[in-house]
Structure 1
Amino acid sequence: MRLPFLPIILLASVLSACDNSSKLADETVSSLGISYQMREFKRQGGSKCPETTTVKAEDTLCASVKFSYPEISSVTQPELASKMNALIKQQLLDQIEGAPSELAETQSLESFADSFIQDYTQDSNNFTSWELERSVRIIHNTNTLLTLLFEEFGFTGGAHPFNGSRFIVLNLADAQPVSLEDLMNPGYEAALNVAGEKAFREARQLTDHSSLEEDGFNFANNAFVLNDNYGVNKDGLSFIFNSYEIAPYVMGPTEFTIPYEDIRSLIRPNGLLGSKAQ
């Protein structure tokens, strides 16, 4: 049975600081004095939202937004902390795929959530709930680099939810994004793709010489090529192919790590990752 649209909006929001206040790795704290505290923002609105009404779970008609992210602070490097916080906020307001949104530079978490909820409540054809969760996590750092992982999950109707993940590597000297070209020797691409395909096949449990196309993956000319969605961690360079990027949704995303031992000769010895070079 189709339920009538009720123009009653119940709106609730929460901004809190979790108890897990943390410092980055000791080497970063000693050299830069950076620490962070995890923050969480929640907002929901709709005609039948949990926590604001006595509605049963199966009768919920609500749009909910949740952000979780690290808030960076530094007594000795306040400008650096401010730049990092601005970048984290922009990542929360940008979608995983596609070009960066111009609104992300001026929009707040609150106005973004309000807009999402407004879209939901103004759509009279919605007979299910919407949700959007975005998070930013610090997954690795040295005294020169910081790797962030941005993750997104949501549902706005349709056959299935949407989700995705994106790495961002920052130079801790200026909070600017670091590309693979910044870390690797010139002409690294072919050798890195070879090492990447090995790690990819291991992660997907594929044989060494099977056809990627026959295994269900869509690479141009059936030749493996890495994307630029990479992160630096303690064991190597991690990469993520999101759902739909190289395979149907049902096959899910693929995450894998290329060990440093396989690519030491490709790393710039005097670069930000120089300690991992031969």
Structure 2
Amino acid sequence: MSQKIFSLLVIFLIFTSCRDEKSDAGVKQVKGDTEALSFYEESFLPKDFEACKTEKCPKIRVNYLKFREDREAAKEMNGYNEKRLIKIFNNTEVASEAENVKAAVNEFIQDFQNFKKDFPESQAEYEVEISQSVLSQTKKLLVLETNFYLFTGGAHGYGATRYANYDITSGELLYKNDLFSDLNAFTDFAEKEFRKKYEILEGENINSKGFFFEKDKFALPENIAVTKNRVILVYNRYEAASYAEGELKLSIPKNKVNEWLNY
């Protein structure tokens, strides 16, 4: 009898172990200052929405990262990340009022289905694609990279790259003034690197090669990533050049600008 109980116990332990392994599948660790941040991927496809079971839906491929909220920093990062992802849908005619990403996608579906009801003869399709990954992680800083494409009719959709720099200890989203101890000095250096890459002579108008910086004055882009070895600047379409030019990217070795960095 005891042998039978022992056998059942072994089977139970094996089953429990396999179940735990399965539940943790896909969970990755990001090492922080004092403890690890665990994150996993959240995904949405048309099949995940009730509205798509009875009516035609737009193309949907949404994949983004969520941190397990076992520490306060993870909660902060999830909150900031969710808000930034929802803003992607603000490129539609009406700004999203959704409280989470799934609700924002659902609004996008409703907009498409309402459009099809109003204009049943239209061949226009809607599409949203979002992907997200950890670009870099250090003891103090985590950088998320988000790539997205949104199409709601017209000649072309809009795609962009967005970076988010987070303080691993606090979970705070960091802005330019947080990342740099001397933002003006870094901006001056970045302008020299930009001119060198695009062959614009010193003293020559920064827009002489077809760029359209406001008031003919160089400015940093909205998207800056401070990685382990480099500072990456990305100007998305329309930010400093035409749509046809695509995104403009400038990558600066970190050792050249360390004196102006906080991270």
Q: TM-score range by the shorter chain?
A: 0.7 to 0.9
Code of the residue aligned with 1:240 in structure 2: it is V
Deviation at 1:259, TM superposition (A): 1.8
Find the aligned partners of 1:164 and 1:243 in 2 and give their Cα distance: 7
Find the aligned partners of 2:179 and 2:101 in 1 and give their Cα distance: 33
Q: Kindly indicate whether the alpha-carbon contact (under 8 Å) linking 1:44 and 1:62 is maintained by their aligned counterparts in 2.
A: no
Deviation at 1:243, TM superposition (A): 0.3
Find the aligned partners of 1:97 and 1:236 in 2 and give their Cα distance: 31
Equivalent of residue 21 in structure 1, options 24, 27, 34: 27
TM-score, length of structure 2 as denominator length? 0.75
* Alpha-carbon spacing, 1:110–1:179, altered in 2? closer, same or farther (3 Å): closer
Q: Kindly indicate whether the alpha-carbon contact (under 8 Å) linking 1:149 and 1:166 is maintained by their aligned counterparts in 2.
A: yes
Deviation at 1:201, TM superposition (A): 4.1
Deviation at 1:140, TM superposition (A): 0.9
Deviation at 1:95, TM superposition (A): 2.2
Find the aligned partners of 2:230 and 2:137 in 1 and give their Cα distance: 12
Structure 2 residues not aligned, in runs of 5+:
1-22
Find the aligned partners of 1:174 and 1:102 in 2 and give their Cα distance: 28
Q: Does 1:43 align with 2:46?
A: yes
Match runs of 1:44-193 below 5 Å:
62-73=57-68, 75=70, 77=71, 79-95=72-88, 103-104=97-98, 106=99, 108-123=100-115, 124-125=118-119, 126-185=122-181, 188-193=182-187
Code of the residue aligned with 1:219 in structure 2: it is F
Structure 1 residues not aligned, in runs of 5+:
1-16, 54-60, 274-278
* Alpha-carbon spacing, 1:44–1:199, altered in 2? closer, same or farther (3 Å): farther
Q: Kindly indicate whether the alpha-carbon contact (under 8 Å) linking 2:43 and 2:63 is maintained by their aligned counterparts in 1.
A: yes
Find the aligned partners of 1:18 and 1:118 in 2 and give their Cα distance: 34
Higher strand share: 1
User: What's the counterpart of residue 256 of structure 1?
Assistant: 250
* Alpha-carbon spacing, 1:201–1:22, altered in 2? closer, same or farther (3 Å): farther
Q: Kindly indicate whether the alpha-carbon contact (under 8 Å) linking 2:233 and 2:249 is maintained by their aligned counterparts in 1.
A: yes
Code of the residue aligned with 2:81 in structure 1: it is I
The count of residues paired between Structure 1 and Structure 2 equals 230
1:95 alignment partner, SS class: helix
Aligned identity (percent) is 23
Could you list the runs of 4 or more consecutive aligned residues of structure 1 that deviate by over 3 angstroms after TM superposition? 17-21, 207-212
Deviation at 1:208, TM superposition (A): 4.3
Higher Cα Rg: structure 1 or 2?
2
User: What's the counterpart of residue 242 of structure 1?
Assistant: 236
Q: Kindly indicate whether the alpha-carbon contact (under 8 Å) linking 2:89 and 2:108 is maintained by their aligned counterparts in 1.
A: no
Q: Kindly indicate whether the alpha-carbon contact (under 8 Å) linking 2:165 and 2:174 is maintained by their aligned counterparts in 1.
A: yes
Deviation at 1:102, TM superposition (A): 7.4
Deviation at 1:85, TM superposition (A): 2.0
Q: Kindly indicate whether the alpha-carbon contact (under 8 Å) linking 2:30 and 2:137 is maintained by their aligned counterparts in 1.
A: yes
Q: Kindly indicate whether the alpha-carbon contact (under 8 Å) linking 2:140 and 2:169 is maintained by their aligned counterparts in 1.
A: yes
* Alpha-carbon spacing, 1:44–1:118, altered in 2? closer, same or farther (3 Å): farther
Q: Kindly indicate whether the alpha-carbon contact (under 8 Å) linking 2:77 and 2:173 is maintained by their aligned counterparts in 1.
A: no
Code of the residue aligned with 2:192 in structure 1: it is K
